[in-house]
Structure 1
């Protein structure tokens, strides 16, 4: 009987047994955490040791140093770029100002050239009109044109020869016209224009007078008279 009970316990049909630990679960978790931490520390040590053996730690430090140097160079390049941009902006402003100045100077030079040409023309006009010698009042360089219908423009130079010792002349000049009107002779009895004249050595006259629209002027005559009506000089021009 006892043998049967003993054999039943050793057989497959014997009742199940459960082995339970007597440690509480907080201690078990602590033990697991300690084991994991030890394993992690061991793995980190092995990794760092392997890097030291392979030279990766030295290369990492070199890479960090090179990265720092590259950053410093990039900062230097940025400063150089900003400085170059500032210089370029200043140069562009100076270039624009120089171009504007050159344009103004070109305009001034052009105006001076025109003024110089006008002075040359006036000088040539006076040189052609100056007499070689003699004394008294003369009318020289009489010119006339018809700029528009009913108008006559004239130019002349009145000169009093004899030097600066000549007294001042006071009088008038008259413009007389003659020509044809509707195919017939036309000669007004009175001057077409009378103007006072006061001068010492010379006086350039540029005037405009009105004429009938249907008149064709053939001759222009200019007379210079003093205050008493005495004739001092005259000149005629045929058109």
Structure 2
């Protein structure tokens, strides 16, 4: 009986050591927390990690010398400068177009003025010729010269239309007499030319478009026209003739 009692005590002692002794199992005691609190704590920790990472990133930029804020400010300034330059470029183009249009207008006006001046100079020269002719006719009438005809102011000029083309002009006038009736006649242009080393004399007809070579006047008549030499010919001189009834009544010679 005593032996059984000792065995029971020994079993209880082993159980107590197993539960409360050094070999006893460890027990974790946890307090129960609601889900929203755990979510808030997680968000707070994530924010802390983000702030720490941003701090390391900014510190790294400072260490490497990269200033993003300064670069963005510089980019903004460059964009503003670009906008100003584009505005100035548009204004400069408009001014250039306006200046070009003004220059074209001025150039056209200058060309018209130059053409007008040339026309006035030509008219002035003809008026001088007419005045000289009138003075000559008046002098001839007052001195009682024998009635007749004269060719004055014969001029020969190359034409810009092509090689071998020439313009001529002259004044055919009556001298002496009263000049009460109209005079009728014709004129001729006779050219002395050199062709392949050989001289020749040819009669040239006025080109189409005029009144031919017929003349009708009372005191004088201005004559002008154009003629073309044969191909390969070189003009030496020109003789103008005024004829009545097939007879030469006046003549004059000129060289180009």
Could you tell me the TM-score, scaled by structure 1's length?
Answer: 0.47
